[in-house]
Amino acid sequence: MTRTGRVLLVAGAVIAVGCGYALAAAIRRGFSAREEPTKAEEVVARTFRRWATPEAVRRVPNPVPTGPEVLARARAHFADHCASCHGNDGSGQTPMGRRLYPRAPDMRSGETQLLTDGELFSIIRNGIRLTGMPAWGNGTPPEDVGTWELVHFVRHLPKLTQAELAEMESLNPKSPAEYEKASQIEAFLSGSGPSDASPRERSAH
């Protein structure tokens, strides 16, 4: 048997043992998403994430030049589409991110930052099966450019400034209750809301 064959055999055995252990543990305690993933599950998940990206794609460098305008577009896109799970800062510390199984990762950490540009692109575009990470885009050139811009933003996450975070907060999707509250505040500040009336006028109604 060749060296490559032996490596594949050992890797397959490790993964099989890990899968068996994870399955046995899950059967014992159930399949609640409230439980924290075990170390064995984390190893299996990272292995399958690695395998999900073809080798040729993994080696592809980011073809889109970076710059302030690129990061601004990607920052706005991330705030509107990604922050509900990943957080504006990429920490994953959101109500949605902490309830996924496995949890949304801290994208500032080495586990994410050490992925190649091609791996990040593939994960964003194609998603990861059996996780909460969906596939975005349909492979058209304009959408691929936007995905590569997001790869630049993921690289920028460890260096986010407070000003950038504040800007992203203003771009996060709003709930109906938040829209209603904002409308009331705007009406009050513009002088067209019910708060215009004096206390005497309001008590007369």
- Please give the pLDDT value at position 34: 79
Phi/psi region, residue 176 (left: phi>0; alpha: psi -120 to 50; beta: rest), is alpha
Do 64 and 149 sit in the same domain of this protein? yes
Do 98 and 144 sit in the same domain of this protein? yes
Do 67 and 44 sit in the same domain of this protein? no
Do 68 and 139 sit in the same domain of this protein? yes
The model carries a pTM of 0.72
State the average pLDDT over residues 132-151. 89
Of 96, 158, 160, the C-alpha closest to 131 is 96
- Please give the pLDDT value at position 164: 98
Of 21-25, 50-54, 109-113, 126-130, where does the model show the most confidence?
A: 109-113
Q: Which residue range is the domain that position 19 belongs to?
A: 7-52
For the chain, what is the domain count? 2
